[in-house]
Amino acid sequence: MAAQIMILNGPNLNFLGIREPHIYGRTTLKEIEASCQALADQLGVSISFHQSNMEGELVSLIQSAHGNADAMIINPAGYSFTSIALIDALKIFEGPKIELHISNIHARDELHRHSIISGACTAVICGLGPFGYLAALLAAVQNLGQLPGTIPTALHGLAATGKA
């Protein structure tokens, strides 16, 4: 059975391509979704792709993944630095959880430098731009042990530990 991967996007990411292109680039969220879907098709997995500006809606989506998704990728955006509610919801989900940031948050201003969400996630990817979504999708599928044989064997040989 194909793995189910939920991809969540937080506030203001619906304005990717327009909002601060010097930080986030000109790629839109729709273009990122299309790239993720194309890679998911190649990997033989199913994705659900969501964006919300509302913290409670993101919490509900995370809760809906319990028993329905095998792995989760989340770009919490501004909630990375403030949301205890997202942390608590993420702790409920038992599969791999990959936190994703388009920019390198560690090289940004003090306000955007420390994600409190990271402690509730299996892994963090940041600073790869929109390609980070594809890296996160590959990592999620690899972590589930479901990389197809069509993927280069070198990637299969890297064991995922899921441990800090």
If you search the block for the tokens 């509302």, which residue do you land on?
Answer: 54
pLDDT score of 152 more than 90: no
pLDDT of residue 1: 78
Q: Is residue 79 within 8 Å of 54, Cβ to Cβ? A: no
Indicate the pTM of the whole model: 0.91
Write out pLDDT tens, residues 90-114.
Answer: 999 999 999 999 988 888 777 666 7
24 is catalytic: yes
Locate the domains of the chain by residue range. 4-156
Read off the pLDDT of residues 61-77 as tens digits, 9 standing for 90 and up: 999 999 999 999 999 99
Could you report the per-residue pLDDT of 18-53, keeping only the tens digit for each? 998 988 889 999 999 999 999 999 999 999 999 999
pLDDT digits (tens, 9 = 90+) for 125-149: 999 999 999 999 999 999 999 988 8
Closest C-alpha to 13, from 51, 65, 66, 49: 51
SS3 labels along 41-92: HHHCCEEEEEECCCHHHHHHHHHHHCCCCCEEEEECHHHHHCCHHHHHHHHH
Q: What is the CATH number of domain 4-156?
A: 3.40.50.9100
The catalytically annotated residue of 24, 66, 114, 156 is 24
Please, are residues 76 and 117 in contact by the beta-carbon 8 Å criterion?
A: yes
The sign of the CA dihedral 81, 85, 91, 93 is negative
Q: Cα separation of 104 and 89, whole Å?
A: 24
pLDDT band at 164 (very low <50, low <70, confident <90, very high): very low
* Residue of higher predicted confidence among 35 and 154: 35
Annotated catalytic residue 112: no
Give the Å distances, CA to CA, from 11 to 29, 67, 80, 97, 113: 12, 25, 10, 19, 17
Q: Which residue out of 50, 66, 101, 114 is catalytically annotated? A: 101
Rounded Cα distance between 153 and 97, Å, is: 24
What are the structure tokens assigned to 41, written together?
Answer: 């098709």
